Structure 1
């Protein structure tokens, strides 16, 4: 099988993944924005009721934890899709293009393995959490927290597959001068 056929097969899977990924990212950004607004309102209401009305409410801190967990996990998925997670890449950046890309593929394969495990176990524990574990003030099931982990891990697994395919394609069809490309993490002028 020649390179052209492999690239065609990768593109066959990559194009729908990219379209779905862009749609998922728009939903994730909307969820994060809504969650941030809700967090500000709930925290503000909690502060107002405690210090102005002198009637502290028990639910704003717990609600804030739920919202913050959702924002954190969904935000991690957005950052992964955008390839903006923090990394220490001093040695990898010094490698030639193909080696650097292969290291990136291995890292995302390991991440994909981890995400599959997280998906599997978070799915397993959500059922019992719906009936057995509840928050103290809101009485919401702890499964709502686990659901954010499950959804974020699904999104990150999809992103990892997309990144692996994109990187593998870039090895087969490298840019005009791949070694001239600098990763965004490299600080200019050093």
Structure 2
């Protein structure tokens, strides 16, 4: 099997951040597919510390969240927001659990791409985590904000470049 024939490797190479959306609704079935992909990420001791919050356009919390990030226009324009949080009661190692949240988010972004939607990882919003938790009426003692994913039907293909592999290797092989 060539790399081109491998759907997983193809999705990894083709997925790009999408920040502009058509306005077409995202179905609850698609949302479920996306969070299910997150649920299947690896986690240390299989503790699965992630928790998800799905918000659709029209929910007053979307507007409140838009005010918590410099990417407010993206928040307001997407068809689905997926909040990813760590449940401190389910955590066993902060470093390991933060890493697993990244794997969870990547799974969801790959699932988003694979079903023909576009999405972007909104990480900057964590700089206003207290404000976000307030807007969502969630306990900061229990939940730690990892990111929000803005998802929708892409109005444009995402694009970006990658550094040559040689510049990223600490040692050639």
Higher alpha-carbon Rg: 1
Q: TM over 0.5: same fold? A: no
Place the TM-score, normalised by the shorter chain, in its bin: under 0.3
Structure 1 or 2: larger helix share? 1
The TM-score, its normalising length taken from structure 1, stands at 0.22
How high is the TM-score relative to the length of structure 2?
Answer: 0.24
